[in-house]
Amino acid sequence: MDPETEQVITAIAPRLRTLRRTRGLTLEALATETGISVSTLSRLESGKRRPTLELLLPLARAHRVALDQLVGAPPTGDPRVHLEPLGRHGTVIVPLTRYPGRIQVFKQVLTPREPRLVTHEGYERCYVLAGELRLLLGDEEHILRPGDVAEFDTGRPHWFGPAGDQAVEILHLFGPRGDQAVVRAGPTPG
């Protein structure tokens, strides 16, 4: 095997371990989610087992990432295809836009953590893709499920994260104060 291919394959093991740990999953929980045995997952993450397509596909699905992110495929030149996930405070953040001073869009996977209300300038929208989102707005508590959306001024004390002990996946839009969504079309009258 050529050295470049060997390097790509070797880099998969730590990437798998980092994804699992960032999501706060145990090997047992990931085994349940993927149908791959704990021992196989452990050997994949330690580099003692070579990854195969049959193993990587369910792992990519479980971690909600593209297969090329697991493999570390070379860039195609299109930045929309190869987005860089960032891990921070038990959260995986994938920036989908980079427009300073305008609305920022992120895909986020949030893991359980203690609520801490914050305030800052801006306006946020959270659209739940998977799991349940707990949203605290001052003294109010809201539970959002897939397909639900919340929109609020960030000058109001707020916090959001998983409603239970499982991660929640959201599409998160943040913009300067006053950048509120405007509905330009509604459902067809029926």
CATH at 43: 1.10.260.40
> What's the domain count of the chain?
2
Q: Is the pTM of this model over 0.85?
A: no
Q: 156 with 104, same domain? A: yes
Which range of residues forms the domain containing residue 92? 86-175
Cα dist from 129 to 2, 14, 123, 134, 175, whole Å: 40, 27, 20, 13, 20
Residue 171 lies in a domain: yes
Contact of 168 with 162, CB cutoff 8 Å: yes
pLDDT of residue 19: 85
pLDDT, tens digit (0-9, with 9 covering 90-100), for 44-64: 999 999 999 899 989 988 887
Q: Taking Cα atoms as reference points, which of 166, 162, 171 lies closest to residue 33? A: 166
Last residue of a domain, one of 25, 48, 71: 71
| Residue 18 covered by a domain | yes
Q: Is residue 60 part of a domain?
A: yes
**Band (157; pLDDT cuts 50, 70, 90):** very high
- Position 20 in a domain: yes
Only one residue has tokens 């707005």, namely 137
Is residue 184 domain-resident? no
Quote the tokens at residue 170: 């959201």
Choice between 74 and 90, residue whose per-residue pLDDT is larger: 90
Is residue 94 located within the same domain as residue 18?
Answer: no
Please check whether residues 51 and 98 belong to one and the same domain.
no
